[in-house]
Amino acid sequence: MPTTILAKEPAAATANDEQLCIDTVRVLSADAVQKANSGHPGTPMATAPMGHLLWGKHMRYNPRDPAWPNRDRFVLSAGHACMLQYSFLYLTGYDLSLEDIKNFRQLHSKTPGHPEYGLTPGIEITTGPLGQGFANGIGMAIAQKHLAARFNQPGFELFNYMIYAICSDGDLMEGVSGEAASFAGHLELGNIVYLYDDNHITIEGNTNITFNEDVGKRFEAYGWHVQAVEDGNDLAALDKAIQAARAETTRPSLIRVRTHIAYGSPNKVDTAGAHGSPLGVDELKLVKKFFGFDPEESFVVPGKVLEYYRAAGERGIGLEEEWDQLFDRYKKEYPELAGAYELALQDRLPTGWEKKIPGFQVADGKEGKLSTRVALGKTLNSIAASLPGMIGGAADLSPSTETHLKDFGDFEPGDFGGRNFHFGIREHAMGAVLNGMAVTKGLIPYGATFLIFSDYMRPPIRLAAIMKLRPIYIYTHDSIGLGEDGTTHQPVEQLASLRAIPNMTVLRPADANETAQAVKVALLHKGGPVALVLTRQNVAIIETGVYKTAGDVSRGAYILSEPERAPELILIATGSEVELVLKAQKKLRENGIAARVVSMPSMEIFEKQDDAYKQRIFPKGIRKRLAVEAASPVGWHKYTTDEGDMIGMTRFGESAPAADLFKEFGFTVENVVARAKSMLRG
């Protein structure tokens, strides 16, 4: 809440109230950038009219409750223009003060350099990397359609919110927006209203140096409803276009709005210089003069401007109250559905699903073997009925990733209640769409592809980790073990690079039972995304009963097999290599060497255990440790110590049957034994 409202009106403010509102946002945004001496003033100045219509008229939101389930979502895909969004959040009455605006871009402020989810009330998603917000909004739109299909009932339109976004040239140049737009057009998502800030300017100058396509035609070809507004200051035209976009129910809408970056700045308008630098003290004075503000004053918010936007915000309080009443009535008519949604709102899972996590016997495999991807598919299908919020799909690989939910239909036009998604060969958009779904309460989204193609979805993975969202990534074909597809398809550095992302949890289970447990861990996880990394090839179903310690994936690493006497060394492995080290342990025993086997499905989860537990698994006294993982050794040294060793992949793979490749690269019992022995000789 603001502490001071300046009573003084700008002297020359002759225009009508709405114009004054818009100009206040412009000047306020430019003031904040100037004070921070850093930021992007030009685009907030140019897009203030569209912002004014969205926050002042079209969007339904309640500043007192930024989490109101049926609020319209707003995404500023051009995240650099965040002063626009901060201005409106403050003006409409979110818990953001003028002081916060003055602290733009400062340490620990609520107004960071790009919008950050979880930090500023009213920010729906973190944006900044161009193109992401655009695609996130498609995920939000999918989520709305799915919630509506699942929960809405005749007379109970619980979920009918819209997704609004402002996107820029950069957003539409990035490939991810094209992937996402194609997907949204195919899905006929009519709940999307995107405004494209067509200002012909990016950092290097006029867009004509690189971007001359007809964006409107491209979006029409994607199946979008496309409109154009040739003057971004023409409120009536903008308003009409937004109304038409809202009325369009079977196509996503793009409104191309021709604007002029830094409108109102006599020397910077239409220049790239207004993109990412403060206007300068003198130029800002000229801007204030142009809009009729006192050039000597800063952060001026005329009383009637604040009143206008606060009134707009307060309308949302009433809207939410109406919705609450609707939900109360719904609760009486549909107690089960209402209960399910309330549980989801608390981030809780329905009771009983854990009991559906399957156990696998050796007899369940083919000659005692089962690939972990098949175990994953069986696990997902076994729990799917008890977890209706779990939805997802693959980037055209579901027959390989085993992620199809057999008893549930496809999410497609005409059936938004379906739970299987065909993301198409659009991994990047899949990742970003998952983020948009993951910010929506009630959904646990997953997306699948081969581990190698996690590279194609890295930007949204990183953003999910930053936002602590929890989409589940299912990555199969996890090593040279995929065989004949060869080096292009064989991941080497992907595990290490995923593990390097803060807040990311990677699980590479050793067998069918570890896989089932890994799914459970993933579903219970909070605070960041989880990647389940799985084999294409069959691996032995480990007879847990045979070993002293039962597997405990939820602790990240555990002693799978202990020798009869005190161990001299520790063999550490993940995934398909666990079977190998178990065999090597046996061979070493025959040679009179006592080796402990540690299965380490997740380094990140292990790191969260207490010191006593960590000590128990890796005692300081046992420093002879051999790690075996068919991937880059980067990151393993911490566990192997200076006295240990690693059998990993230090080069790219080859095309050949998997068994030949494991032999070629030293993943054999003989090599593990030989390396263990030479390590002991030290």
Ligand X SMILES: Cc1ncc(C[n+]2csc(CCOP(=O)(O)OP(=O)(O)O)c2C)c(N)n1
On the 0-12 / 13-18 / 19+ scale of CB atoms within 10 A, 155 is exposed
CB nearer ligand X, residue 130 or residue 603 = 130
Q: Which stretch binds Mg ion (CB under 5 A): 160-168, 220-228, 563-571, 628-636?
A: 160-168
CB nearer ligand X, residue 152 or residue 271 = 271
Cα–Cα dist 49/29, whole Å: 13
Q: Which does 371 bind (CB under 5 to 8 A by kind): Mg ion, ligand X, none?
A: none
Q: Which stretch binds Mg ion (CB under 5 A): 165-173, 306-314, 382-390, 535-543?
A: 165-173
CB nearer Mg ion, residue 218 or residue 315 = 218
Q: Least distance from C-beta 463 to ligand X, angstroms? A: 11
Cα–Cα dist 128/562, whole Å: 50
Q: Could you give the 3-state DSSP secondary structure of residue 254?
A: strand
Q: Least distance from C-beta 494 to ligand X, angstroms? A: 21
Distance of CA 539 to the CA centre of its chain: 31
| Nearest residue to ligand X, scored by beta-carbon proximity | 170
Q: Which does 80 bind (CB under 5 to 8 A by kind): ligand X, Mg ion, none?
A: ligand X
CB nearer Mg ion, residue 274 or residue 649 = 274
279 binds ligand X (CB under 6 A): no
Q: Which does 198 bind (CB under 5 to 8 A by kind): ligand X, Mg ion, none?
A: none
Q: Among 179, 427, 577, 629, which one carries the catalytic annotation? A: 427
Task: List, edge to edge, every strand of the sheet that includes 569-573.
Answer: 558-561, 595-599, 569-573, 625-628, 645-647
168 binds ligand X (CB under 6 A): yes
- Using left for φ > 0, alpha for ψ between -120 and 50, and beta otherwise, residue 171 falls in alpha
Within residues 235-274, the interface with ligand X by CB under 6 A covers: 261
Out of 201, 255, 482, 559, the residue judged to bind Mg ion by CB under 5 A: 201
How many other CB atoms are found less than 10 A from the CB of residue 95? 15
Q: Which stretch binds ligand X (CB under 6 A): 77-85, 422-430, 595-603, 651-659?
A: 77-85
Q: Least distance from C-beta 19 to ligand X, angstroms? A: 22
46 binds Mg ion (CB under 5 A): no
Q: Which phi and psi angles does 661 have, rounded to 5°?
A: -70, -45
Q: Which does 454 bind (CB under 5 to 8 A by kind): ligand X, Mg ion, none?
A: none
427 annotated active-site: yes
CB nearer ligand X, residue 210 or residue 361 = 210
Out of 13, 25, 81, 628, the residue judged to bind ligand X by CB under 6 A: 81
Q: Which residue has the tokens 């606060």?
A: 310
Residues 17-46: x where in contact with ligand X by CB under 6 A, - otherwise, as a string: --------------------------x---
Distance of CA 330 to the CA centre of its chain: 31
Q: Least distance from C-beta 480 to Mg ion, angstroms? A: 45
471 and 529 Cβ atoms separated by less than 8 Å: yes
What six digits make up the tokens of 596?
Answer: 């402990």
201 and 78 Cβ atoms separated by less than 8 Å: no
Half-sphere exposure of 567 (CA within 13 A, CB side): 26
Q: Least distance from C-beta 436 to ligand X, angstroms? A: 17
Q: Which stretch binds ligand X (CB under 6 A): 195-203, 249-257, 284-292, 417-425?
A: 195-203
Out of 169, 179, 320, 579, the residue judged to bind Mg ion by CB under 5 A: 169
Q: Least distance from C-beta 263 to ligand X, angstroms? A: 12
Out of 29, 109, 202, 454, the residue judged to bind ligand X by CB under 6 A: 202
Q: Which does 529 bind (CB under 5 to 8 A by kind): Mg ion, ligand X, none?
A: none
How many other CB atoms are found less than 10 A from the CB of residue 417? 18
Angstrom CA distances, 612 to 563, 606, 617, 620, 624, stand at 21, 12, 9, 11, 20
Q: Least distance from C-beta 624 to ligand X, angstroms? A: 46
80 binds ligand X (CB under 6 A): yes
CB nearer ligand X, residue 49 or residue 365 = 49
Cα–Cα dist 337/124, whole Å: 25
Out of 13, 78, 148, 429, the residue judged to bind ligand X by CB under 6 A: 78
Residues 91-130: x where in contact with ligand X by CB under 6 A, - otherwise, as a string: -------------------------------------xxx
Q: Could you give the 3-state DSSP secondary structure of residue 96?
A: coil
Q: What is the DSSP secondary-structure string of 587-610?
A: HHHHTT--EEEEE-S-HHHHHTS-
Q: Which does 78 bind (CB under 5 to 8 A by kind): Mg ion, ligand X, none?
A: ligand X
On the 0-12 / 13-18 / 19+ scale of CB atoms within 10 A, 632 is buried
38 and 113 Cβ atoms separated by less than 8 Å: yes
Cα–Cα dist 272/295, whole Å: 24
Q: Least distance from C-beta 169 to ligand X, angstroms? A: 3
275 binds ligand X (CB under 6 A): yes
CB nearer ligand X, residue 112 or residue 509 = 112
Q: Which of 531, 537, 519 is nearest to 660 (CA)?
A: 537
Q: Which residue has the tokens 């038409």?
A: 244
Give the chain's end-to-end CA distance (angstroms, integer).
67
CB nearer ligand X, residue 148 or residue 195 = 195
For the chain, how many residues are written? 682
Q: Least distance from C-beta 201 to Mg ion, angstroms? A: 5
**Going along 552-659, which residue ranges are E strands?**
558-561, 569-573, 595-599, 625-628, 645-647
Site residues for ligand X per CB under 6 A: 43, 78, 80-81, 128-130, 168-170, 174, 199, 201-203, 261, 275
Active site residues: 427
Footprint of Mg ion on this chain (CB under 5 A)?
168-169, 199, 201
